[in-house]
Chains A and B, each alone.
Chain A
Amino acid sequence: MKGLLKVFLGVLTAIGGFVDIGDLVANAVVGARFGLSLAWVLVAGVVGICLFADMSGRVAAVTGRGTFDLVRERLGPRAGLANLVASTFVTFLTLAAEIGGVALAFELATSVSYLLFVPLVAFLVWFVIWRMPFEKMEQAFGLAGLCLLAFAVALWQLGPDWGELFRQASHPSVPDGEGHPTYWFYAISLFGAAMTPYEVFFFSSGAVEEGWTRKDLKTERLNVYVGFPLGGVLSLAIAATSALVLLPQGIEVDHLDQVALPTVLALGKIGLAVLIVGFVAATFGAALETALSTGYSLAQYLGWQWGKRTAPKDAARFHAVVLVAVVLGAMLVLTTLDPVKVTEYSLVFSAIALPLTYFPILVVANDPEYMAESANGRVVNALATGYLVLLTVVALAAIPLMIATKAGQ
């Protein structure tokens, strides 16, 4: 049991990264419009995030320091600042959307307007960060997030033609009535979602919070190779349920309630209840991740004391940044900006910030002064270089495709 609990940092990171409010809706949108013809993007995203999360976790375990701390030291303040600005902007947008996402999940359970829940959710996010120990936090929300496996159960219950699903996934094509630019816009959004920058900041900073050392490299790998593929499986299950139920009806997914509809039809009220718990856990977990990541990156860059393991009075500036981010995020959602739309755009901005995030990690993970015998091997470097080229192409294509397709309309 103790061994099982050790993987919850990876599970929570992946659930936040793969099935936060924007991803929940984006995966359902993709399933309802393209079937499983974009499944290959999820596979590419899972491989990419495993590659770079493993690097950042290894760096944290070997050096005992956070990613931003090392990036600033190794590449200098200017390169670090570009990385900091780009990723903090995306992370803050995502935090605001996640606060709205938790409120939307409460609305599904109560039918009370989500806006009324926003201040309560913001308070709870801050309170959990302030009071709950890191290990308990990751276990509680990682475990509750597993309720989203209801999507996989619903998929099985819907009795799909597995051969047809596999054919769609293995023979990607643009469906009739959809244009190539829209197809590629969603491919970039899904890829950006899978590799969103805050995942690696949270994962590596969480490794430092948990006090990982070289001895924990096995645990680090277990977290990466269990957590992130699990997030990918959940994403695929969401897309597949939408492909089975919503696609034949020509339903365009815009809201969280529509994401739940196939599971409701397959599993009934119990399925819905489990799913709502999963929605709350996943979006709340993502809110915790993004709020902490904002504090982690700024504090590490500026050389402040940081972390939940440090007493708040000794890491006052770190906690102040987290508090301010949560308050500003709640205020942004209270303007009635649609949280789902906010994350849809943040996924595209995330795609733009990808090379800025992952290049420095690759540099540090190759530096023998920091990593000694734990530096990257040739195979990892070849793969990572290939991914960096891909990330650059994705970053360059993101904005033109967003404009050309009116954000996928």
Chain B
Amino acid sequence: MKRAVAILTATLVTGMVTGCVSPSRTDRDYELKAGNTAKAVASSVATAILGADAAGRHKATGPYLSVLLGMAEKDALAVQSTFDSVQPPDATADRLRGTVDDLLGSATTGLTEMRIVCRRGELDKLPALADRLRSTLDGLRFLADHFQ
């Protein structure tokens, strides 16, 4: 009986620890995860760019943009964290991981800068920061389309 309880406990603990990380057993599976990650972060970046567009045309208030940009950053960071926890199966996947990580890093840094500037009330700086994110957005969209 004690042994059964021990096995059950070990299984539960293992499940809880490993269950947080989504494994990838093949390159294709890893590529699909990379594609979905790029798509999700591209959505956050595109949201922020539209928000900056509204700010540039004096169409949105500071509090609204603060929420919009804060949420976009939070979503992108969550997606990045999830992707980073996926185990790449081999060296090919390692290279893809590097490419995706570069883009995710660039996206989250850009979104963080936009959130900081917005919360300082410097809304007129947002369009310039958004312009710097456009190439990142293109890269993310390319990955998302390529690894569907």
Q: A258-B47, A261-B47 are in contact. Are A269 and B68 (CB under 8 A)?
A: no
In the complex formed, the residue of B with least CB distance to A273 is B61
Interface stretch (choices B9-17, B24-32, B37-45, B91-99): B37-45
Q: A111-B66, A251-B47 are in contact. Are A268 and B39 (CB under 8 A)?
A: no
Partner of A269, one of B39, B59, B119: B59
Partner of B63, one of A108, A258, A261, A265: A108
A107 in the interface, Cβ–Cβ < 8 Å? Answer: yes
B63 touches A110 (CB 8 A): yes
Residues of A within 8 A of B144 (CB): 250
Residues of A within 8 A of B58 (CB): 268-269
How far does the Cβ of B111 sit from chain A's closest Cβ, in whole Å? Answer: 14
A177 touches B50 (CB 8 A): no
Residues of B within 8 A of A261 (CB): 47, 50-51, 54, 68
For B, the interface residue count at a CB cutoff of 8 angstroms equals 28
How far does the Cβ of A134 sit from chain B's closest Cβ, in whole Å? Answer: 34
Q: Mark B47-84, 1 if CB is under 8 A from A, else 0.
A: 10011011001111111101110110001000000000
B47 touches A260 (CB 8 A): no
B67 touches A108 (CB 8 A): yes
Which has the most chain A C-beta neighbours within 10 Å: B40, B46, B64? B64
A264 touches B64 (CB 8 A): yes
Q: A245-B50, A261-B51, A272-B61 are in contact. Are A250 and B43 (CB under 8 A)?
A: yes
Partner of A257, one of B59, B68, B119, B141: B68
Please classify the interface of chain B as helix (H, G, I), strand (E, B), loop, or mixed, using the class held by over half of its residues. Answer: helix
How far does the Cβ of A242 sit from chain B's closest Cβ, in whole Å? Answer: 12
A255 in the interface, Cβ–Cβ < 8 Å? Answer: yes
B63 touches A111 (CB 8 A): yes
Partner of A265, one of B43, B54, B62, B148: B54
A255 touches B71 (CB 8 A): yes
A249 in the interface, Cβ–Cβ < 8 Å? Answer: yes
B148 touches A177 (CB 8 A): yes
Partner of B59, one of A109, A111, A264: A264
How far does the Cβ of B15 sit from chain A's closest Cβ, in whole Å? Answer: 19
How far does the Cβ of B20 sit from chain A's closest Cβ, in whole Å? Answer: 16
A residues 103-145 touching B (CB-CB < 8 Å): 107-111
A249 touches B46 (CB 8 A): yes
Residues of B within 8 A of A245 (CB): 50
B54 touches A264 (CB 8 A): yes
B46 touches A269 (CB 8 A): no
Partner of B50, one of A252, A254, A265, A269: A265
How far does the Cβ of A62 sit from chain B's closest Cβ, in whole Å? Answer: 48
Residues of A within 8 A of B66 (CB): 111
How far does the Cβ of A49 sit from chain B's closest Cβ, in whole Å? Answer: 32
Residues of A within 8 A of B61 (CB): 269, 272
B71 touches A272 (CB 8 A): no
Expressed in whole angstroms, the Cα–Cα distance for A383 and B63 within the complex equals 48
A272 touches B75 (CB 8 A): no
B62 touches A111 (CB 8 A): yes
Residues of B within 8 A of A252 (CB): 39-40, 43
Partner of B64, one of A108, A177, A249, A250: A108
In the complex formed, the residue of A with least CB distance to B70 is A111
A269 touches B60 (CB 8 A): yes
10 nearest A-B pairs in the assembled complex, by CB-CB distance: A111-B63, A268-B59, A111-B66, A249-B46, A252-B43, A257-B68, A257-B67, A251-B43, A255-B71, A264-B60
Can you identify 22 A-B contacts, CB atoms within 8 angstroms?
A108-B63, A108-B64, A108-B67, A110-B63, A111-B67, A249-B47, A249-B50, A250-B42, A250-B43, A251-B43, A251-B50, A257-B71, A261-B47, A261-B50, A261-B51, A261-B54, A264-B54, A265-B50, A265-B59, A268-B60, A269-B59, A272-B64
